Amino acid sequence: MTARILVVEDTEDNRRILRDLLNHAGFMLIEADDGEHGVALALSEEPDLILMDMQLPVLDGYRAARRIKADPRLAKTPLVAVTSYAMPGDEEKARAAGCDAYVTKPFSPRALLATVKALLRERAES
């Protein structure tokens, strides 16, 4: 079964990069361009993993992550912060909001893919 990944990213160029990378790796993508839409899609689609920008319109990634993780059906869904925030304390803030991993932009496609695969493997084993 192909894993379904929700990408919540407001910048079209970044979504295209993630789309190309993840589709090429065999994943199915669901996309949202703001935090509110991301939460709605997470609740309705129940993806296998979520990649979330933290600086989003309508509802920021931190609040979106908290809402997603508060739903019992999604509490164990891996959620990865993919963000240009790289200041001291930003990773801790993302993890406190419910993110299971933290990747800074610009990211290494190989490293991001390795993170995605490792989190999906951990989820499958638990």
Q: Does the residue 126 lie in any domain?
A: no
In a domain, 21, yes or no: yes
- The two three-digit tokens of residue 63, written as one number: 């609040």
Tens of pLDDT, residue by residue over 75-117, are 999 999 999 877 889 999 999 999 999 999 999 999 999 999 9
Residue 21: domain span: 4-119
What's 32's domain CATH number? 3.40.50.2300
Whether 124 is in a domain gets the answer no
Q: What is the pLDDT of residues 3-39, one digit of tens each?
A: 999 999 999 999 999 999 999 999 999 999 999 999 9
Q: Where are the beta strands (DSSP E) in the chain?
A: 4-8, 28-32, 49-52, 79-83, 101-104
Number of domains comprising the chain: 1
Whole-model pTM: value is 0.96
Residue with tokens 């790289």: 86
pLDDT value at position 123? 92
Residue 33: inside a domain, yes or no? yes
Q: Does residue 125 lie within any of the structural domains?
A: no
- Residue 55: phi, psi to the nearest 5? -100, 90
